[in-house]
Amino acid sequence: MDNNISVPTLKRLPYYYNIVCNAISAGDQYISSAEIAKKLDVDDTQVRKDIAAIGYTGKPKVGFEVHEFKKQLENYLGFNEIRNAILVGAGNLGIALSRYEGFEKYGLKLVGLFDNDPAKIGLQIADKKICSMNNLSEILKKYNVEIAIITVPAIYAQNVTDLLVKSGIKAIWSFAPISLNVPDNVYVRTQDLAANFTTFVQMAHRKNVL
Amino acid sequence: MDNNISVPTLKRLPYYYNIVCNAISAGDQYISSAEIAKKLDVDDTQVRKDIAAIGYTGKPKVGFEVHEFKKQLENYLGFNEIRNAILVGAGNLGIALSRYEGFEKYGLKLVGLFDNDPAKIGLQIADKKICSMNNLSEILKKYNVEIAIITVPAIYAQNVTDLLVKSGIKAIWSFAPISLNVPDNVYVRTQDLAANFTTFVQMAHRKNVL
DNA sequence: TAGATTGTTAATCGATTAACAATC
DNA sequence: TAGATTGTTAATCGATTAACAATC
């Protein structure tokens, strides 16, 4: 797999995927780089470069064939390989994420939902049961899990992280607004929704709409 | 206000804010650019440039005074000005967001929670009641709201957006994974969590942890 | 003072955009 | 064919990083 694709390009690919899926739903057969560019408010040359980066090519005069383009994106982004993951923290956000069916389309399969609140353990969320953290290593081994989502309160996040790392988790998607300490062989990405909101408001100001 | 601050810098500021808040909780009085840089995995020169961009300066040899730095960030990011906003779509994610107290720290005040499901209207979520969309314009006027958060299913998102725009909303933070059409005087930011997840997994691969 | 850390200029790097040839 | 759209090279732009002087 080409590892030279740039991070900005990588971040745009899922949006191309959404657009091509919607185009298919709408019954389109081809889509042009200019159409995609307009929807995402980027340059159309950039769209073509991004698409070229994953090895797909369009047809001059007609554009990009939506079904093939979709397939190439799924292939490049690995949506066909099922990735087992667990989620720790069955609060409102945790429950919202575990109920979101959209993730399956992207290859994410939640195989465990954990919390330490005795009142929550055993509760059924969609097709999943909330488990005690005591069952963690058992489930990680059973499903060969390397990915974890953390939606616990910030004060517990480092403890949970330490436990996950000790249990062999290699990639952590954390919604706690703190910097987590992990060894070099573990990757953490912090999804701080309050920070995202702040950026959104700042950008709105910059566009002079507020 | 300096409008020349770059977007990448702008996106890092909320993370500096988290770090300085945590440093204060930990009882620190000063923090160095190198410490911040390490936590965020960026260059320390960049941290100093970012801080300089909002007009704050540290002290050679000691670093940045945490309380003053925090104040400057709050000031620049406008956390002291209360921003009224509404949320449309009282599903799991919508409820999770409306229960999240963290937003208040960033100046966001949710003054209305809307849904069109009759079974949900009237329900109490934290200190808020779910309202019918019929009450929309009333509440927007009463609280002078220009910001909306959309957590409705993707198929309804464009309809809701049209309604919000017609009612005078100027900035929309949407969690629906589709490109929304809005006039030029309205700003939309799409927060596609599935796309964010995909990027997270790709980055983990790139770091060779998976 | 010596040393550590900031502030800032200059150099580098890479992403975006412009121009235009290739192609169906 | 003519025209539209892709593919690609070159130019630009701006963000990051390196080097080092300023300062407490």
Confidence of residue B1 (pLDDT cuts 50, 70, 90): very low
B71 part of contact set with chain A, CB < 8 Å: no
In this model, does residue B199 exceed pLDDT 70?
yes
Q: What is the mean pLDDT of residues A77-84?
A: 96
Taking only the tens place, the pLDDT of each residue in A31-59 is: 999 999 999 999 999 999 999 999 999 99
Instruction: List the B207 CA – C17 C1' distance (angstroms).
Output: 30
pTM above 0.85, yes or no: yes
- Closest CA to C16 C1' — which residue? A46
CA–C1' gap, B192 and D13, in angstroms: 29
3-state secondary structure B101-148: CHHHHCCEEEEEEECCCCCCCCCEECCEEEECHHHHHHHHHHHCCCEE
Read off the pLDDT band of A3 (50, 70, 90): low
Question: CA(B43)–C1'(C12) in Å?
Answer: 15
Span B8-24, pLDDT tens digits: 999 999 999 999 999 99
**Mean predicted lDDT score pLDDT of chain B:** 95
Measured in angstroms, the CA of B10 and the nearest CA of chain A are apart by: 7
Does residue A102 register a pLDDT over 90? no
Closest CA to B109 of B143, B74, B70, B72: B143
B186–A108 C-beta distance less than 8 A: no
pLDDT of residue A131: 97
CB contact (8 A) between residue A189 and residue B200: yes
Q: What is the mean pLDDT of chain A?
A: 95
Q: What local confidence, expressed as pLDDT, does residue B4 receive?
A: 79
Summarize the confidence of residues A7-17 as an average pLDDT.
97
A82 and B CB contact within 8 Å: no
Any A CB within 8 A of B183 CB? no
Pairwise CB contact (< 8 Å): B171 & A210: yes
Per-residue pLDDT at A29 exceeds 60: yes
Calculate mean pLDDT across residues B60-77.
Answer: 96
At residue B77 the predicted structure's pLDDT band, cuts being 50, 70 and 90, is very high
Strand D contact at CB of residue A32, distance < 7 A: yes
| Nearest chain A Cα distance for residue B200, angstroms | 6
- Confidence check: pLDDT of A1 > 50: no
Q: pLDDT band at residue B3, thresholds of 50, 70 and 90?
A: low
Q: In what order do the strands lie in the sheet with A124-125?
A: A124-125, A128-131, A108-114, A83-88, A147-150, A171-174, A187-190
